[in-house]
Amino acid sequence: MTTAKIDARPASPVPVWTRLLRDPRLPIVVTAALLVVMYAYGSYRYSFDQQVPANLLINNSYLIVAAVGATFVILTGGIDLSIGSLVGFSTVLTGLLVTKNHVPVGLAAVVVLVAGALGGLLMGCMIQYFRVPPFIATLAGLFLFRGLSLMLSKESIPINDKTVASIAQFHISLPGGAFLSVGATVALVVVALAVFVLHYTRFGRQVYAIGGNEQSALLMGLPVARTKIAVYALSGFCSALSGLVFVLYIQSGDPRAAIGMELDAIAAVVIGGTLLTGGFGYVLGSLLGVLVIGLIKTIISDEGTLSSWWIKIGTGALLLLFILLQRTVTARGTRTTR
């Protein structure tokens, strides 16, 4: 033991469980497991019925839609802080168009979606062409859109349109007696579309490539400028769609709606296992992240005796857990200490 011997053995294979621990998909598996455990605990303690998981989707549908947009941006290594403001702006614009100007609901929805996409496009151009950091450009967007919605209307605009009410009350029955709202269906469709776009289209691969290494992507001849701008436009579009879903939920246009929602969206993306440096992550993870945050809220409100601030502390603790988990996953090799 005391003499130093040269180890002539071939490099031993990595143990199975180390390999498992270092699988980049581990955070998503853990999120899913946590969701199941929390759900089991909740159903044991408060006797959840079949409608609870459906309600989880219904109550968080707008956040799911927004988190999908945030996932695209974060996958390219950027960040979008304008989500909450754009959601608020979209609700106000919908309220104004439908209630004050009596525009048909379908047309109003199209206008709102185009406005959201244009807003994202402008921020994307600032980021790509003028090299304004994404954090700052979308921060300006946060101020701008919240300000615009306050300018459009100081007070909340109630939407008493029959079409909106009937869409909001429309229920899609599921086997087992549960039902889904239109918003929840939209959220699920958006997630499915995003999975398809990210994994089965050229655009999706470009998003991952830019997030992995923008310089390499450029040298490979990928359309970096176009893709980056498109990603922000897409996030703007998702925020506007999230605003429309939110309108169904609150049936009014509120200039103060969804303040700080971008943080919920980013937290959901992180809990879902997407790396904030970009290049790795799944949309399904973000969906799970939103559901985990939503389940915390459900359990804490069902508990009744716990005050609302425990939601924040719980979300923070959960973030901590997942981030440390992500570190063990990404810590392989010697990465920079950054």
Chain residues binding other proteins by CB under 8 A are 79, 81, 126, 129-133, 135-137, 139-144, 146-148, 150-151, 154, 263, 266-267, 270, 276-277, 307-313, 315-317, 319-320, 323-324, 326-327, 331, 335-338
- Closest approach, Cβ 175 to other proteins, in A, equals 37
The dihedral formed by the CA atoms of 100, 254, 269 and 47, expressed in degrees to the nearest 10:
-110
- Listed in sequence order, the DSSP H helices in the chain are 16-21, 26-46, 51-59, 61-75, 83-95, 105-129, 134-152, 162-169, 182-200, 202-212, 214-219, 224-250, 261-271, 283-303, 309-330
Is 223 strand, coil or helix?
coil
Measured from the CB of residue 53, what is the shortest distance to other proteins in angstroms? Answer: 25
Residue among 101, 139, 92 nearest 256 (CA): 92
| Nearer to other proteins (CB atom), residue 116 or residue 183 | 116
Rounded to whole angstroms, what are the CA distances from 198 to 39, 127, 201, 285, 287? Answer: 29, 22, 6, 13, 14
Residues 6+ apart with CB under 8 A from 295: 35, 38, 39, 42, 56
Least separation, in Å, of the C-beta of 177 and other proteins? 36
CB 280 within 8 A of CB 210: no
- Closest to 56 measured CA to CA, from 333, 310, 309, 302: 302
Nearer to other proteins, 100 or 335 (CB): 335
Chain centre to alpha carbon of residue 312: 18
For the chain, what is the radius of gyration of the CA atoms? 22
* Residue with Cβ nearer other proteins (68 or 81): 81
Rounded least distance, CB 202 to other proteins, Å: 28
Smallest gap from Cβ 317 to other proteins, in A, equals 7
Distance of CA 41 to the CA centre of its chain: 25
DSSP-derived 3-state class of residue 187:
helix
Q: Is the CB of 288 or the CB of 300 nearer to other proteins?
A: 300
Smallest gap from Cβ 131 to other proteins, in A, equals 5
Task: Specify the residue, 168 or 319, whose C-beta has the smaller distance to other proteins.
Answer: 319
Q: Which residues 6+ apart lie within 8 Å of 44 measured at CB?
A: none
Type of residue numbered 6: I
Question: Which lies closer to other proteins via its Cβ, residue 102 or residue 131?
Answer: 131
In the bound complex, what is the minimum distance in angstroms from residue 176's beta carbon to other proteins? 35
Measured from the CB atom, the residue of 14 and 151 that comes closer to other proteins is 151
In the complex, the smallest distance separating the C-beta of residue 284 from other proteins, rounded to whole angstroms, is: 20
Residue whose C-alpha is closest to residue 127's, from 144, 141, 147: 141
- Taking the least distance from each CB to other proteins, the nearer of 205 and 256 is 256
